[in-house]
Amino acid sequence: MEALVLAWLVAVAAPAQTGKSEAPYGWLVKVEASKDGSRGTIARPYEPIVGDILFFDDLSPFWVKLYAIAGTGPPFHAGIVMTRRDGSLAALESGPDDTLHVYILELKSRLNDFKGVIQVRQNKVAVTREKSQELTDFAYKQVGKKYAVWRLLLQGTPVRHRGGWKEQYLATTYMDRKRWLCAEIVVTGATIMGIFDPAIVKGTVTYPLDIVDDRKFDLSGVLEEAWTWKPVLPEGAVVVGKTDVPAGARQP
């Protein structure tokens, strides 16, 4: 890619930022190929945007087997970036780290404390104060609700709505539930933000794997491609700037 070549030229002219002080929320990293076929690691500081979707994979063999029964695979968990009532950034998640309730987790700690692989798809849709507040209000109303354990287990049975006519006619995105699956609450949050069209991405039949890339849905117009999150800049990585997220996507 031309971006990689340009990044190398920039890196020669100026020293790379390597400290956590320049990237308080860590780094987004990916491997990119240049025109000559060589591959290198590029990175940029993670600058969170409300509506970013976080994907978590704890590399658990148990979840690999269970998700395979449901016809899906890693990543096994997802969350959505929001602002708390004090204005600080957080992640809304149902069942983080195999727990059984909905939580609002301070973002820096959540990213740094997780043991496993984290990927981030950044929001490209403009964030208005009204929509951000709507997501915040929704999130606080869900805190403490239970993770939908039985509904997760039913995903491996014919009772599930995923696939065929059931998905077409019965699947939906609920704006409020007594119990939530992790991807389900993320889809609802993203729908509130105007990122997902509820007629296309339906919460009751969506797994994290369905939205981590564009194979099932073309989300390229509303979400960046997934980058891997790292707490520090990987050795040898070339620092690049953010290029494809419109300025309007940043929270006012």
**Amino acid occupying residue 107:** L
Closest C-alpha among 241, 243, 226 to residue 53: 226
Question: Considering the domain boundaries, does residue 219 fall inside one?
Answer: no
143 with 95, same domain: the answer is: yes
Q: Give me the tens of pLDDT residue by residue for the chain, a chain 252 residues long.
A: 444 444 433 343 333 444 444 899 999 999 887 666 677 899 999 999 999 999 999 887 776 676 666 666 779 899 999 999 999 999 999 999 999 999 999 999 999 999 999 999 999 999 999 999 999 999 999 999 999 986 766 665 555 655 555 566 678 999 999 999 999 999 999 999 999 999 999 999 999 999 999 999 999 999 999 999 999 999 989 999 765 544 444 443
Structure tokens given for 36: 């000559």
Question: Considering the domain boundaries, does residue 161 fall inside one?
Answer: yes
Q: 18 is in which domain, residue-wise?
A: 2-47+229-244
88 with 102, same domain: the answer is: yes
Question: Considering the domain boundaries, does residue 250 fall inside one?
Answer: no
User: Helices (DSSP H) in 14-104: which residue ranges?
Assistant: 61-69
- CATH number for 138: 3.90.1720
197 with 233, same domain: the answer is: no
Cα separation, 149 vs 126, whole angstroms: 34
How many domains is the chain built from? 2
Cα separation, 146 vs 165, whole angstroms: 29
Q: Rounded to a whole number, what is the largest CA-CA distance in the chain?
A: 60
156 with 106, same domain: the answer is: yes
